Structure 1
Amino acid sequence: MKRSHYFYFVIGLLVLQACKQQPQQQAPVALPYPVISIPTKTVIAHNIYPASVEGTNNSSVRAKVPGYITQVQVDEGQKVRKGQVLFKLETQSLSQDAEAAKANINAAQVEVDKLIPLVEKNIISSVQLETAKAKLAQAKSGYSSIAANIGYATIKSPIDGYVGSIPFREGALVSPSDPQPLTTVSTTEDVYVFFALNEKDYLNFLKTTKGTTRDEKVKNFPEVELELATGTIYDQKGKIETVTGQINKTTGTVTFRAKFPNPNGLLANGSSGAIRIPKTYENTLVVPESATYEQQGIVYAYKVQGDTLAISIPIGVLDRVDGLVVLDSGLKKGDHIVGSGVGKLRNNTPIVPQMVEFDSIANGLKTVFK
């Protein structure tokens, strides 16, 4: 054997021996994972929409005659009764006009009284008496108009309710043409809550509500909840009373009005919040959020196959409610899936299943979410 060939032969033997000494790649070690059986449950989801609160009756208080405010007799937020005095305007010039109007009435009455016996004696024509009577009536009308304006200078509440903001104070000149009212009195024993649905949500809402006509569906609308600005849920439920039934061309939405009782006065005119409309899924398949993961917009779960192998399965999601995923497709009742720790798994990974109760996983999630 030539020397060069012998050299390569020796090198090949060394490489072969080194390969034999390399450790064989070990199969992945099966680790224990909690496994649950998929149940059916009835769960309630909520569709949430921004909302605004208004009193059931909001009455703007305006001046009927021009004048300077001399007294503001209420404060913002004060409860008032119908007819209660809110503002008083300066009436000095009106009082002077009223005195002059009274004098005109007296003068016209004297003229009528003087002419009556003359007409009875046929000394003068009755036309003169009728003319004098007309002047008397005109004088009385003028006085009544001035007296009414004096009455208008005392501005009273048109309804029972609560006083809103008061932008005008003593000394301010106000008139009927002012764009801003003196205040607004609101009735808030009950309140209206307004919210809007886009066209798609509106049609789906009608479709899933019992009834053949829109009026029947409105009557069958479920009670709704109000989420306050603090994030808490108002302790009274409301009822949807009206729907415009017309789509706003600018916003593409349909306006709803719900009515809520307000016994403690917690809800004020102008408040904001969010309406929560319940959506019930009866006897539906659910899995815990911890049993799912997402890749490229597709949601997956690990189904246990043959008791030892975790297989990645795409699932259809209808909704997510309090840490639960409402299923649309991909799994069926009784299937076994990995309940948590799915982030450490890969498709076709061997595991050691440890059967646990569904609620032990689901309730644990609710505690975390709270």
Structure 2
Amino acid sequence: MKIRILNTIVIMVMSLTVFASCSENKEKRHITNPELTIMEVKPSTQEFHESFSATLKGMQDIDIRPQITGFITKVNVDEGSIVKKGQVLFQIDQIQYEEAVNVAKANVAVAEADVATAKLTAANKKYLAERNIISAYELELAQNELGSRNAQLALAKAELVSAQKDLSYTRITSPTDGIIGKIFYRVGALVSPTMSDAITTVSEFATMYANFSLTEKKLLALAKENHLTTDIVKNLPKVQLKMSNDDIYRYLGTIETISGTIDESTGAASIRAAFPNKDGILRSGGTASIILPYSLDSCLLIPQNATYEIQDKKFVYTVDENSTVSSTEIEIYPLNNGSEYAVTKGLSAGDKIVIEGINSLRDGLTIKEKSNTL
């Protein structure tokens, strides 16, 4: 009985061992021979586009502020209104300023009458002095009085001009063609030149600026690829604008300025592109994306999902003639199109790389090559 039990145990152990061995061999065959898609790296000339976040700003955003103190009696525009240069936007209560003009006009009239009287007196004194009827002292007093009256007339006229100017300031006009921003003060509000907030803003929108940034590395790469020297701006390609609704703006833009310094905190240069805004679609303060085109000659293009990263270094799995994979470090062009990298170092034309399932690979693993149509 004991011998029979022992034989049974031995048979069971051997069966389990054989089963485990078969399972292990089956798993090894599965792991060591995965069928994966590969591609042969070939040189080509490629056109790329890369997007950069941008903020929109009008050519001029002009604060509209009162130059006198008073209550707003009329608002002639609304937020978003298109206005012309010189158009009246707001009306400030005119009563006190009209009164000031009337008083100034009356003062001018009085001063003119005083001057006329002083002229007659001076002429009479001169006639009498020439005949030695009065002394030269009396003549000089009369002439001085005339000079004083003339000065008072000039002062009265200046005060009239000032009063008329203040009256004109009751009509707040647009300094340029543009679009009205948010209106902070309306009818009944007391406004003055010393208040901190503007009444509103007029944005000159015939040309709209898109401000964005490029890292120093990308800026240098762009300059190199376009064979640019110190006068970078003149030779940069036209750019597109993707609006916040993902539509591509119908007009191309021109890069006008690149900041002369790199921001130490961001490591990037500020760039401004100008777009015509003939239809008034673009609004100051909006957001968009700049699409920057560039081309690379004889570049080696690979899918981004064929790469993996270790400590900020990029690698791919290359495949040799024996279908064995090995990790290879590569260097890439700083700009990319979001789905592919242009390899500048680490690969040569004709090399084969794995472009799928790279997370399950390791150096020395043999794979089965699946044909690829790329």
TM-score, length basis structure 2: 0.78
Q: 1:304 to 1:251 in 2, by over 3 A?
A: closer
User: Is the 8 Å Cα contact of residues 254 and 275 (structure 2) preserved in structure 1?
Assistant: yes
Which one of the candidate residues 289, 292, 312 is aligned to 2:326? Answer: 312
Q: Which runs of no fewer than 5 residues in structure 2 stay unpaired?
A: 129-138
Q: Which amino acid aligns with 1:305?
A: E
Give distance in 2, aligned partners of 1:337 and 1:202.
Answer: 30
* Pair 1:332 & 2:348 matched: yes
Aligned position for 2:258: 243
**Structure 1, 170-179 or 325-334: larger mean CA deviation:** 325-334
Report how far residue 206 of structure 1 moved.
4.5
Which one of the candidate residues 264, 273, 277 is aligned to 2:292? Answer: 277
Q: Which amino acid aligns with 1:340?
A: E
Aligned position for 1:75: 78
Aligned position for 2:65: 62
Aligned position for 2:134: none
Give distance in 1, aligned partners of 2:345 and 2:219.
Answer: 25
Q: How does 1:82-97 map to 2 (within 5 A)?
A: 82-97=85-100
Q: Which runs of no fewer than 5 residues in structure 1 stay unpaired?
A: 1-6, 359-370
Q: 1:234 to 1:175 in 2, by over 3 A?
A: same
Give distance in 1, aligned partners of 2:285 and 2:242.
Answer: 15
Report how far residue 220 of structure 1 moved.
1.4
Report the identity percentage.
31
Secondary structure of the 2:194 match is coil
User: Is the 8 Å Cα contact of residues 314 and 331 (structure 2) preserved in structure 1?
Assistant: no
Give distance in 2, aligned partners of 1:344 and 1:302.
Answer: 14
Q: Which amino acid aligns with 1:120?
A: A
Report how far residue 87 of structure 1 moved.
0.7
* Pair 1:177 & 2:194 matched: yes
Report how far residue 248 of structure 1 moved.
4.6
Q: 1:246 to 1:357 in 2, by over 3 A?
A: closer
Give distance in 1, aligned partners of 2:45 and 2:343.
Answer: 12
Give distance in 1, aligned partners of 2:154 and 2:276.
Answer: 53
Q: 1:352 to 1:207 in 2, by over 3 A?
A: closer
Give distance in 2, aligned partners of 1:265 and 1:247.
Answer: 33
CA deviation profile, 1:192-220 (whole Å, cap 9, x unmatched)? 1222345554555555553442xx22211
Report how far residue 63 of structure 1 moved.
0.8
CA deviation profile, 1:126-156 (whole Å, cap 9, x unmatched)? 3322222222222121111111100111111
Residues paired across the two proteins, number:
342
Q: 1:350 to 1:130 in 2, by over 3 A?
A: closer
Give distance in 1, aligned partners of 2:350 and 2:85.
Answer: 66
Which one of the candidate residues 162, 166, 174 is aligned to 1:145? Answer: 162
User: Is the 8 Å Cα contact of residues 83 and 159 (structure 1) preserved in structure 2?
Assistant: yes
User: Is the 8 Å Cα contact of residues 317 and 325 (structure 1) preserved in structure 2?
Assistant: no
**Structure 1, 224-233 or 147-156: larger mean CA deviation:** 224-233
Aligned position for 1:224: 239
Give distance in 2, aligned partners of 1:200 and 1:217.
Answer: 15
**Structure 1, 296-305 or 261-270: larger mean CA deviation:** 296-305
Give distance in 1, aligned partners of 2:269 and 2:306.
Answer: 38
Secondary structure of the 2:67 match is coil
* Pair 1:127 & 2:139 matched: no
Aligned position for 1:195: 212
* Pair 1:116 & 2:130 matched: no
Give distance in 1, aligned partners of 2:282 and 2:235.
Answer: 25
Report how far residue 33 of structure 1 moved.
4.2
Q: Give the aligned CA root-mean-square deviation in angstroms.
A: 3.3
**Structure 1, 266-275 or 155-164: larger mean CA deviation:** 266-275
Aligned position for 2:133: none
Give distance in 2, aligned partners of 1:298 and 1:199.
Answer: 20
Give distance in 2, aligned partners of 1:203 and 1:288.
Answer: 24
Secondary structure of the 2:324 match is strand
